[in-house]
Amino acid sequence: MISENEAEEIKEKLISHIESTFSPEQADSAINQINSMNLEQLENFLVKNNLVKNSEEESEDETGNCIFCAIASEKINSVKIDENENAVAVLDINPVSRGHVLVIPKTHGNAEGREIMSLAKKISKKLKEKFSPRNVEIVKSKMFGHEVINVIPVYENENLRSKRKSARTDELEEIKEELEKEIPKKEPKIIERMDEFSWLPKRIP
């Protein structure tokens, strides 16, 4: 059985997905249905839609109930901005700030290893270059037994506990496009060198 905290986050992600893909008429009905679900109903909904496995199908680990494993394996749609052999970087659909990225290990468990942190640092550098935040926080969090790395641009005083806002898919795609744009290289300034003594009057023989 999923916990109340896990259920709340799952509902937020489902609602964000509904708002970005359903028509307004369909979205209202679907959102009301999601919000009215108790823990058992929500878990049954996830199993029915192949987002998690039921208890009889689960292996000894927790991957069957892990939404992050589903994102990493592309069973759940996401806006991916980068990846390497060990991790994938996606834009959070419930960000605390513009450009909030989740670096998700492809293997269920802890976010350990040089390649995983290397991807987080690469994303942090790109966010600094593109969006000029005051700082970029790199913070680990864990859910469903799967640790992820949050890369959070700090424009004011945002942090992992800040209030989240749902982001539409088109908004996330715009952020992705900005991150993928090449930064124009600045041409070096050419300063014409003046003769050191050009200000002196010409010598008359």
Task: Spell out the per-residue pLDDT of the chain, length 205, in tens.
Answer: 567 777 787 887 777 777 766 677 677 777 888 888 887 777 777 766 656 544 444 443 455 568 899 899 998 889 999 999 999 999 999 899 999 999 999 999 888 889 999 999 999 999 999 999 999 999 998 877 899 999 999 999 999 888 888 888 999 999 999 998 876 666 666 555 555 555 555 555 5
What number does CATH give the domain 4-180? 3.30.428.10
Query: Vertex 16, ends 9 and 123: CA angle to 5°?
Result: 80
Residue 182's pLDDT is: 74
pLDDT of residue 9: 77
Per-residue pLDDT, 184 = 63
pLDDT for 63: 56
The answer to whether the CB of 143 falls within 8 A of the CB of 9 is yes
Rg over alpha carbons for the chain, rounded to the nearest Å, is 24
pLDDT number for residue 17: 72
Q: What are the angstrom distances between the C-alpha of 69 and each of 37, 60, 61, 75?
A: 23, 15, 12, 8
How far, in Å, CA of 100 to CA of 161, rounded?
A: 13
Rounded CA-CA distance 192/204 in Å is: 27
Domain-wise residue ranges, the chain: 4-180
